[in-house]
């Protein structure tokens, strides 16, 4: 089955700096790669996603890149703010009603 590795597990950055979280996956059939943000005590919520036919996607301060050859995708957050502090999960999905596999999560702390 699919295996998703995510690192780092914890990340501290100064406010205004950039943060990068990296994930690798094992199943070349995966074609959808979402990122979820989970604030303390809350449910995970989708913040950005990318499909296998796209190499990069941006939404304001966040961006995701995908390298299908290397089976690697990353989340980039620029100009970090304290409200970016949360746990971020990457995931890989084969689509077609198949199960989604998550990484272990990255706890991001933005220091004011």
Interface mask (CB under 8 A) for other proteins, residues 28-57, using x and -?
----x-x-x-----xxxxx--x--------
Distances (CA, A) of 14 to 28, 54, 112: 36, 30, 6
Among residues 26, 59, 81, 104, which is the contact residue for other proteins, using CB under 8 A? Answer: 104
The sign one gets for the Cα dihedral 43, 9, 16, 49 is: negative
Cα separation, 1 vs 20, whole angstroms: 26
Q: How far is the CB of 10 from other proteins (least distance, A)?
A: 11
Among residues 23, 74, 105, 110, which is the contact residue for other proteins, using CB under 8 A? Answer: 105
Count interface residues toward other proteins (CB under 8 A).
23
27 binds other proteins (CB under 8 A): no
25 binds other proteins (CB under 8 A): no
Q: How far is the CB of 61 from other proteins (least distance, A)?
A: 20
Distances (CA, A) of 52 to 22, 26, 81, 98, 112: 16, 14, 29, 16, 36
Burial label for 67, CB within 10 Å (0-12, 13-18, 19+), is exposed
Residues forming the site for other proteins (CB under 8 A): 1, 6, 9, 32, 34, 36, 42-46, 49, 89, 93, 95, 97, 99-105
């Amino acid at each position: 089955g699919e295996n998703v590795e995510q690192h780092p597990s914890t990340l501290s950055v100064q406010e205004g700096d950039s943060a990068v979280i990296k994930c690798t996956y094992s199943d070349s059939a995966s074609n959808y790669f979402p990122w979820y943000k989970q604030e303390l005590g809350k449910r995970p919520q989708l913040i950005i996603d990318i499909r296998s036919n796209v190499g990069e996607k941006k939404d304001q301060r966040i961006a995701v890149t995908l390298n299908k050859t290397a089976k690697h995708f990353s989340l980039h957050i620029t100009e970090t703010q304290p409200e970016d502090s949360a746990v971020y999960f990457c995931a890989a999905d084969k689509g077609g009603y198949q199960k989604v596999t998550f990484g272990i999560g990255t706890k991001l702390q933005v220091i004011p």
